């Protein structure tokens, strides 16, 4: 579980996607505490990321990249997401590094 601002989840996910050479295709918010993002890579390789907010305000993140999974890329996505979420915590904006 991660600590961060719920409003920063989508911007952080967009940066994380770019770090693993993917793009956000669509986003759904089926509940106030859940965000589902569809990703696509060059060659139309699919991916998805799901974020949940716990009652304690923590953020859970999971992702699946590729038809059969790609553990390395998934790990890099989640690490980039966590890093960007931390950069955005408590501020209105932060340069992408």
**pLDDT tens digits for range 16-48:** 999 999 999 999 999 999 999 999 988 889 999
Q: What is the CATH number of domain 6-88?
A: 3.30.160
> Which pTM was predicted?
0.92
Structural domain boundaries of the chain? 6-88
pLDDT at 90: 82
Residue 95 binned pLDDT confidence (cut-offs 50, 70, 90):
confident
pLDDT of residue 16: 97
Backbone φ and ψ for 90, nearest 5 degrees, come out as 80, 5
Query: What does pLDDT average to over the chain?
Result: 94
13 phi-psi bin (left φ>0, alpha ψ -120 to 50, beta other): alpha
Report yes or no: 88 and 5 within 8 Å, Cβ to Cβ. yes
């Amino acid at each position: 579980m991660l600590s961060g601002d719920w409003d920063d989840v989508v911007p952080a996910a967009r940066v994380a996607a770019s770090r693993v050479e993917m793009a956000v295709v669509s986003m759904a918010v089926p509940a106030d505490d859940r965000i589902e993002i569809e990703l696509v890579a060059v060659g139309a390789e699919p991916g998805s990321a799901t974020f949940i907010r716990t009652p304690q305000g923590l953020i859970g993140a999971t992702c699946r990249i590729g038809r059969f999974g790609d553990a390395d890329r998934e790990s890099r996505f989640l690490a980039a997401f966590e890093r960007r979420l931390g950069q955005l915590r408590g501020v209105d904006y932060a340069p992408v590094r």
